[in-house]
Structure 1
Amino acid sequence: MNTIPPRLDHLVLATPDLAATVAEFTRRTGVAPAPGGAHVGLGTRNHLVGLGGCAYLEIIGPDPRQPAPAGPRPFGVDGLDTPRTITWAICPPDLDRAVVAARACGYDPGDVREMSRRRPDGTLLEWRLTDGGDPHPSGLVPFLIDWGATVHPSASGLPVLPLLEVSATAPDPDGIRPLLAALGTGMPLAEGPVGISFTVDTPNGPVTFD
C-alpha cells in the first residue's frame, strides 16, 4: 500500500516555539532545516526540509522579529502548547479546475488567494492557495496550492530527508475519505484520536513525527 499521499506538496509542522522545535528536529534527525522566510503581516516564519521528489516539510511558528498580527496566526499556532503536524497541502495540475471538481463532488476547498514571502537571499516566492473555506476541523483534509512560475521550495537546495510514510487517525475515517477523493488524493486513515504522523529516513535512522 502506498503511504505517500498522491500530489503531496508539503506537510505542515506547527509549533509555538520555532527555534526550539528546529533545534529538536536537528537533534533527532542529524539534519538542520533551512531557514525559509517570514510571512509578513501574519506573524510567522518557517524552516524547510525536502522530503524527496517535489515534496517538503514546513516547520512554522511565531516570528519574534514581527509585531503581533492583527488576527490569529496561521495554522492555529497561537493555540498550540507543543509542536504538532497540523495539516498538509497538495499541488494539483490545475488548481482552479481542481476547486471546481471538488465542489462538484460536494466539497468546497474555499476561494483561492495569493500569498508571498521572501527567502533569506531576498528571492520573492509567490503562490496561490485555497483559504480553506469551511475546512474539516481535523486538518486531515489538505489545502490546495499552486506555485505558478515560482521555483518550488523543494528545488531550492534544501537538505533532504526522504519521506518513508504518512498516515493519519480520526474518530470517523469514513467521513474524511470522500473529501480526500473529491480532491483527487488520499491518506492512509485509521480510527483513533485526530492526528497526522510521518516518518523520514535520516542519518540517525528512521524518525517519526506526530
Structure 2
Amino acid sequence: MSVPHLLDHIVIAGPDLQEAVDWFRDLTGVTAAPGGVHPTGTANALVALTVGGEPRPYYLELIGPDPDREGEELPKKFNIHRLKKPTVVTYAVHPEGIDQVAERARAQGVDLGPVQDLSRRTPDGTELQWRLTQPPPPPNYGVPFLIDWGTTPQPGLGDLPALELLSFERVEVKPEPLQQATAALGLDDGVAEIREGRGSRFVLRLRTEDGREIEI
C-alpha cells in the first residue's frame, strides 16, 4: 500500500453531484462539504484526507454538473457526460515548477497539455485561483495532471470533514505503457504506484471514523 507523496487531490466524478455526495456519505459516513462552482459548468464537494491521523495537503474532490448551469447538457470535463455512477477518474499532483515538469514530460513524448489559469467560487463568494495542466484529447486520466495553487490556500488544509487515506494506486492489465508515461514526469514516487491487475482502474482505500477500511 502506498500514497504518492506529491498527491494534491483525487477526483471522483459522476453525472449528478448530489447523488455522488449521498453515495459517498452512505459508504463512509462522511458528508462532503460544498466546494463551489467552476466556469466549466461543474461544481464540487470536498473531503480532506489525512495520513496516519495527521493533516496533509490532500483532499478528495467529488465533482459533477453544476445544478444551476444553463441548459441540460452534461459537462465533458472528466468524461462526466459518459459516466453512469461516481467513479475515481484521475488525480492531481503538486510538484515544484509545473511549467518545467510539463516541458520535461513533453520532451519525453508525454503531452500534459497547456498550463492554464482556473478559478471557482466558494459558497461564501470567495474566489479561489490556481494553475493546472489541461490534457489534450483524448485525455489519459491515468497520468496525473499538475496543479499549482500559488497564493491560494490548499483546500485540503481547510475546514473540511476528513477521512484517513490508506493507499492510492493504479491497476492496469499491461502496466508498462502507463509506467513509462508517468516516469516521463520525473517525479519518482511522487505519483501513484502502478501495478498489474484486472481492468484499468484506480484503487482508493480509506479508513472511516468508526475504523472500517473501505475500497473505492
TM over 0.5, shorter chain? yes
**AA paired with 2:11?**
V
Q: Does 1:141 align with 2:138?
A: no
What is aligned with 2:53?
none
The alpha-carbon deviation at position 172 of structure 1 amounts to 1.7
On the 8 A contact 1:125/1:150 being kept in 2, the answer is yes
- Distance in 2, matches of 1:108 and 1:133, equals 7
Corresponding residue SS for 1:103:
helix
On the 8 A contact 1:43/1:73 being kept in 2, the answer is no
Which of the residues 56, 59, 78 maps onto 1:75? 78
What is aligned with 2:101?
98
On the 8 A contact 1:44/1:61 being kept in 2, the answer is yes
Q: Does 1:126 align with 2:153?
A: no
What is aligned with 1:47?
45
**AA paired with 1:23?**
D
Aligned residues: 206
**For residues 157-201 of structure 1, what are the alpha-carbon distances to aligned partners after superposition, in whole Å with 9 as ceiling and x for unaligned?**
111111101122123201111111222133232232111110111
Instruction: Map residues 132-171 of structure 1 onto 2, 5 A cutoff.
Output: 132-134=135-137, 137=140, 139-171=141-173
Q: Does 1:6 align with 2:24?
A: no
Corresponding residue SS for 1:48:
strand
What is aligned with 1:195?
201
The alpha-carbon deviation at position 6 of structure 1 amounts to 3.0
**AA paired with 1:206?**
E
**AA paired with 1:21?**
A
Q: Does 1:112 align with 2:115?
A: yes
**AA paired with 2:44?**
N
What is aligned with 1:17?
16
**AA paired with 1:126?**
Q
TM-score w.r.t. length of structure 2: 0.89
What is aligned with 1:34?
33
On the 8 A contact 2:15/2:74 being kept in 1, the answer is no
What is aligned with 2:214?
207
Alignment RMSD: 1.8
- Distance in 2, matches of 1:186 and 1:151, equals 22
**AA paired with 1:160?**
A
- Distance in 2, matches of 1:72 and 1:3, equals 32
**For residues 92-148 of structure 1, what are the alpha-carbon distances to aligned partners after superposition, in whole Å with 9 as ceiling and x for unaligned?**
1111111122123331211111100011111110011111135653x2111111111
Which of the residues 65, 70, 88 maps onto 2:68? 65
Structure with greater proportional strand content: 2
- Distance in 2, matches of 1:134 and 1:63, equals 23
- Distance in 2, matches of 1:136 and 1:171, equals 19
- Distance in 2, matches of 1:23 and 1:17, equals 10
The alpha-carbon deviation at position 151 of structure 1 amounts to 0.8
On the 8 A contact 1:135/1:141 being kept in 2, the answer is no
Query: Which sections of structure 1, spanning at least 5 residues, go unmatched?
Result: none
The alpha-carbon deviation at position 64 of structure 1 amounts to 1.4
